[in-house]
Structures are given as structure tokens and as C-alpha cells.
Chains A and B, each alone.
Chain A
Amino acid sequence: MQGYKNMLDAYTQAGGTPEIFKDSNIAHLVVHKNKVIGSHLVKGLILEPQETANGVDIKLTVEKGIKIENPVHLCFGVLPKEGIQEINIKAKIEDGAEIKMLAHCVFPNAIKVVHKMSADIEVGNNAFFEYTEVHFHGSTGGAEVIAKAKMRVGKNSRLITNFSLLKGRVGILEIDYDSEIQDNSILEMTAKVYGYGDDKIKIRETGRLIGKSSRGLIKSRVAVKENAQSEVISEINATAPEARGHVDCIEVVQGNALARAIPIVNVTNEFAQVTHEAAIGRVDKKQIETLMARGLEQEEAIDLVIRGMLR
């Protein structure tokens, strides 16, 4: 019971609202290390967690035509200073189904915590899946997060992923999301990370537009300061006619930090089009001056610009 309460405290610190765990209309799953310490289901959602030696395997299905009204809340965490958590998710969003999932991953005391997430997600035809993952790490930079996802999206569907790590030190972060998009479907992938200290950030997001008239947007916003390092690889491959994609990457660098942005655009169909924009630099001088002319100190102005960009 104390473990559950501690998880909820960490979840609240991460920006979550613990009241949702009491709402019978909202499905949830709370996992601490390799223990499922809370769960609730709603009609049409099948959620089967299986505890393993180092984590939990989760099988999730949204049945055909079912629209889950409220976002499903997931909370994964490791509260001690050290530990490992491996989460394997196999999700199937069947034809015509719709679901939004909001995952909070909390490692508030991490000195040596490893969190590995591997997801295999299948979104059917005429379906909708939105997955938002919000991380809250402590101030010590002792977390290592390795997140991999393979996603396949059917026809006339929509897949949205949002990843954000804005509170606490990143530590080490490696994201590798890969998606395959069929006819008339839409992909939107967004990652927002703020790194400092000696954080190391590697983000690779790939969208494969293999269906006719498929659409893809990969957007990343990364800020690094002090001695942090970031590398963002955003890739869109358009192989189908009338496929349209756009890569939008902005990285802000301060102090001794190092940022790399690598947009990759591959088009192998003459009727497809992919555009990209990538910018790395300091915060725009005019933005800083504008905010300083309202009375902010330079550091406050820079912070406000970055927080806005990462919002």
C-alpha cells in the first residue's frame, strides 16, 4: 500500500492527476519495477500484464469498433535509487477502434536505474491510436532510458506519439521509434527533451510512408545546456504515390553542450514529396532582448524561450 502511495506521489510530481485512479470510467495500470500494483479496465479494452523477472509484459487489445472514451493512464516507475525495469508492450488496435494512452514514467531517485521499453504496436484500418509518454527523472542524472517501438498502421488510420522529458535530469536517453504507414493514414511523432549536466540524448524516429496518400510529420524539440549532448535523427521514407512528409527539428544549444540534427529524407516515388527543416543554435537574440525589455534577466529570458519551445 505504501509502495502504491509512493508511486502516486511520484506520478503527481511528474504532472499526473492521481484522482483519475479513482475514476471507474478511466482505465489504468500502475507498475513498480516488476510488480503490477494497480489496474482497472473499461469495456472493450483488454489489458493483460504478466510480471517477469525484471519487468512486465503487457498485452493490450482494443476490440474492433470500440472507442475508448477516456485516455488510458499508465504509470511505470522505479522508486529506489537502483533498479531495472523492462516493459514489453504488444498492442493491437483493431479496425475502427480508437484509444488514447498517457504513460508517466517516474524515476525520481535514480542513481542507477535502467528502464527499457520495447513496444510492438499494430493499428488496424480506420483506427486511431495516440500514445503520450511523459518522463519525470530526479535531479541526479542516474536514469538510463532505452525505448524502442515498432509500429504498423493500416489504412485510413492515425497514429500520434508524443514523448517528453522536461522535468529533472535526463541521464541517458535512447529512443528508437519506427513506423510503417499504409494508404491514407497519418503519422505524427513528436519528441521534446531538455538536457543538462552531462546528459546524453539520442533520438531516432522513422516514418515509412508506404501507402498511397499517406502523411507523416516528425517533429523534435531538444534543448541542451552545460555539458549535455544530443543527437536527433529524423527520417521519413516515402515510397508510395502522393505520400507527403515533413521533418521539423529544432535544437537549442547553450554553454558547452553539443547538439547534432540529422534529417534523413528518402523519396523513391516520383509522386511523393518530403520536406525538412532543421535548425541548431542559440536562442534567438531578438527573443532574449524582447523579454529582457520587459524586465527578465538574460537567463530567465532564455529559460522562458526554451520552455515555450518545449511546451
Chain B
Amino acid sequence: MARQKWKELLVRTLRLYTLLVTLITVLMIILGNLLDRDRVFSYDAFFSPLIYALIGTAATMVTRSDRELSVRSLLIRKIISLLIAEGAIVLIALNADTIPTEKSWVLPGLALGIFVVFVLTHIILYFIDRKEAEKLNADLSRYQEQQLNGSPIHE
């Protein structure tokens, strides 16, 4: 049971990380093309989405708790995790030579981009959970049918 719990946590974390890497890469392509089209990067630039996604994933740790959080406190923690991700990535951007933060529209664009990634991540994760719920519902009806027909799955 504990093993399955950790496995579930690992799967969810890796899923979130992969999703963030993909969305951040797309965001960088869009923002880069719109705001800083002529810039040329070295191969090191490939690390950026991986690092930003790591920050984004680490920021979601504030929503983890051994206690069962109410919807209200969960929403507050979600907002805190967004602010942490925004703060950390903006801080990195300010110290990175590759991001032209001297241009007035870059930081607001970046902050908006992080917010869009945050929202998109939650929408995609919701659809993944919905798929999981559909499977649970199918298993549930099969389970109920088996129990009603007097052939319990377990005794």
C-alpha cells in the first residue's frame, strides 16, 4: 500500500515535470519568436526548459500535505506555488544574460507566460484525472455487479 502510494506520487510528479517541460518549451518558442526573434543561443539553452520545469515542479510541493486540506487552503497553496514559480523564474531571468530583461515587455511577458503554463498544466492534469475517473467508474460498475451477483472479488 505504501509502495503504491509512493509509486503514484512519483508518476504524478514525473507527469507534471514532463508536461511543464513541454509547455515551457512551447512558451519559449512563442515568446522568443514574438519578443526576441533575432537572438541566437548555444546548446546550453536546451537546459532552460528542464530547469524551469524543475522549479515549477518543486513549487507545487507547497500543495503537498499529510493533512487533508480543505478546498480553500488548497487554493491558497496553489496561489503560493504560482507565486513561488513566478518569483524564482523571474529572479533567474533577471540574472541570466540570455533573457533581455532590459526590454520593458520581457518581464511582464514572462510572468504572463508562466501564468498561462500554470493554467494549462491544471487543465491538462484535469483531463488526465478525468480519464482516470472514467476508468475508475468502469472498474466500480464491474465491482458492484460482481458483488451483487454474489461472486465477490475478494473474501
A associates with B: no
Binding site for B on A (CB under 8 A): none
Binding site for A on B (CB under 8 A): none
